[in-house]
Amino acid sequence: MSYRAPVRDMLFAMKELAGIDAIAQLPGFEEAGIDTAAAVLEECARFNEGVLAPLNWEGDRNPSFFKDGQVTTTPGFKDAFKQFTAGGWQGLQHPADFGGQGLPKLIGAACIEMVNSANLSFALCPLLTDGAIEALLTAGTDEQKAIFIPKMIEGAWTGTMNLTEPQAGSDLSLVRTRAEPQPDGSYKLFGTKIYITYGEHDMADNIVHLVLARVVGAPEGVKGISLFICPKFMQNPDGTQGTRNDVHCVSIEHKLGIKASPTAVLQYGDHGGAVASLIGQENRGLEYMFIMMNAARFAVGVQGIALAERAYQKAVQYARDRVQSRPVDGSLPAAGAIIHHPDVRRMLMTMRAHTEACRALALVAAAAYDAAHAHPDAEARKQNQAFYEFMVPLVKGLSTEMSLEVASLGVQVHGGMGFVEETGAAQYLRDAKILTIYEGTTAIQANDLVGRKTARDGGAVARAIAGQVEATEGVLRGRPSAACQTMAKRLAAGRRAFLDVVDFIAGQGRANPNAIYAGSVPYLMLAGTVLAGWQMARSLVAAEDALAAGQDIEFMAAKIATARFYGDHILNKATGLRDSIVEGADAVTALSLESF
């Protein structure tokens, strides 16, 4: 089935919820208003619908493969990557000084969703390159920036993130890759890195590895980790490609999904040491790597939205085409398309509402990121930064978990045909599973939300956001429609549940850490559900106003119906989550370890 980018819904969220008009008032973004966004998104849609989407199923059937130390990507990927970078998509939100277009993250996030909807396996290469660029922009020297960033933006080189080792998964204090200082100021790396996305491929001339390693004599634990640039090929002084560096792919993984994306095992230093240069200062590597990780975590959340959108579109098409059974209300004289059946419509509405709500949440977060970096007022920057940081684990955790649910519902809509690979629905479910795992599992996002984002400040940021939610409740109550009145009730109940958990975390953090971390993932899901519901409530108000003005009647009516469904079928789950966290913590640890 062909993919159609949801440009209209993206533009609605950008204008009515994320406030793109306000973003266009910020220094450096003056040309990035709604008209620019519409033009960019339409062009991005054409590229992804026409070039990347047709390669998605091919990548699943004919994935990248490893032979004689080389990785060959899926047929068509190499040419598609050339078109992608020639079109300027890699540099969309990076500085013009290095060859980028300097557009806000708000526009970039919508475009990133399209790339991932069209072809998730392909999209991972530019995603990691974006993270490498962000890390160098923040911590690299002027020379490092000048050498590496333009090449990555133009697509001649790509970037990777090298954290994980066989003995060091999420616990990076166990990193053992060794960095030996050299007389000329460079370093040589020795060690093994695993799960390196696009660690080896044939789509670009060079690969820039950003590697966590421990300098000889450094302190143990995370305080002794440094970050290095280690290119696959060295560069000559005149800028031409030099000798092959001592970093080699020794295998790639055989995975459940995202099969076209090569996940490499990289070996450093088998032939004398891989030459690398230090980024920033020694022993501050984890600090710098978190720049990449935060960028990647947000982007993976957008991947969840993207995959859910693709699964939803496929399910709708199948439900329109598949004839099976007469409708229960007798509206047709004989068997009709399954989209007439109430339970199929319930599944489709669940898929649609989840996707639209998470998209709105991500775009609102992206706008906060832009304001946090470009707003002229220091206090506004600080508030927006706090809001964005609170949103990142929600965007990542909620959006990826919901993508699994949506993709599973997509298979269910297809019935038995969904379990057959040739229909394509199963690919989305297989691809979705990794999203809840890489760049930090859902539990890691939840622990971050509990520890760094809630307990550390006693819940101050969480309560401030709840205050904004409450203001929206007031707007809803002031409107006559039954949809707004019901949404006000649902949102208020969700907000109270959210605040009860915030109080529980703030009060129990030191005295009973097991209790609050037992409910960390439910807390993430509760917070995400409520704050995504807040965006759906705001969209309900905006759509009612537009409908009253006679604007885009069919689209606005659909927005109202989707928001109403979210309130009645998804947002109302918040109170149950609250009860399991606040009242059910003891049940999590009640069973003895021996009884498992």
* 191 and 108 inside one domain: no
Residue 27 lies in a domain: yes
Rounded-to-10 torsion of CA 175, 251, 83, 42: -60
Of 420, 433, 402, nearest to 318 by C-alpha is 420
Q: For tokens 């109403």, what's the residue?
A: 564
* 122 and 211 inside one domain: no
* 173 and 251 inside one domain: yes
Residue 429 lies in a domain: no
- Give the pLDDT score at 72: 98
- Give the pLDDT score at 1: 59
* 173 and 237 inside one domain: yes
Cα–Cα distance list, 472 to 485, 503, 535 (Å): 12, 22, 9
Give me 7's structure tokens. Answer: 């440009």
Domain that holds residue 507: 442-590
Beta bridge partners of 72: 65
Of the candidates 154, 176, 207, which is a domain's last residue? Answer: 154
92 DSSP 8-state letter: T
Q: Which residues of the chain have pLDDT under 50?
A: none
Residue 122 lies in a domain: yes
Give me 527's structure tokens. Answer: 């917070």
- Give the pLDDT score at 511: 86
Catalytic residue among 113, 309, 389, 439: 439
Residue 427 lies in a domain: no
Residue 430 lies in a domain: no
Residue 209 lies in a domain: yes
- pLDDT tens, 479-494? 999 999 999 999 999 9
Give me 195's structure tokens. Answer: 């799960």
Residue 521 lies in a domain: yes
* 180 and 56 inside one domain: no
Domains in the chain: how many in total? 3
Q: What CATH number has the domain bearing residue 98?
A: 1.10.540.10
3-state secondary structure labels for all residues of 480-502: CCHHHHHHHHHHHHHHHHHHHHH
- Give the pLDDT score at 200: 98
* 150 and 162 inside one domain: no
* 146 and 168 inside one domain: no
* 202 and 249 inside one domain: yes
* 507 and 567 inside one domain: yes
Give me 76's structure tokens. Answer: 């068509």
Kindly state the greatest CA–CA separation across the chain: 85
Beta strands at 187-197 and 274-279: parallel, antiparallel or unpaired: antiparallel
Of the candidates 154, 182, 216, which is a domain's last residue? Answer: 154
Is 253 catalytic? The answer is no
- Give the pLDDT score at 538: 98
The beta-strand segments (E) located in 182-285 are: 187-197, 206-215, 226-231, 233-235, 241-244, 247-252, 263-268, 274-279
* 272 and 183 inside one domain: yes
- Give the pLDDT score at 293: 87
* 150 and 161 inside one domain: no
Stretch (H or E) spanning 321: helix 285-321
Q: What CATH number has the domain bearing residue 242?
A: 2.40.110.20
Of the candidates 257, 284, 311, which is a domain's last residue? Answer: 284
* 11 and 136 inside one domain: yes
Residues 563, 558: Cα–Cα separation, whole Å: 9
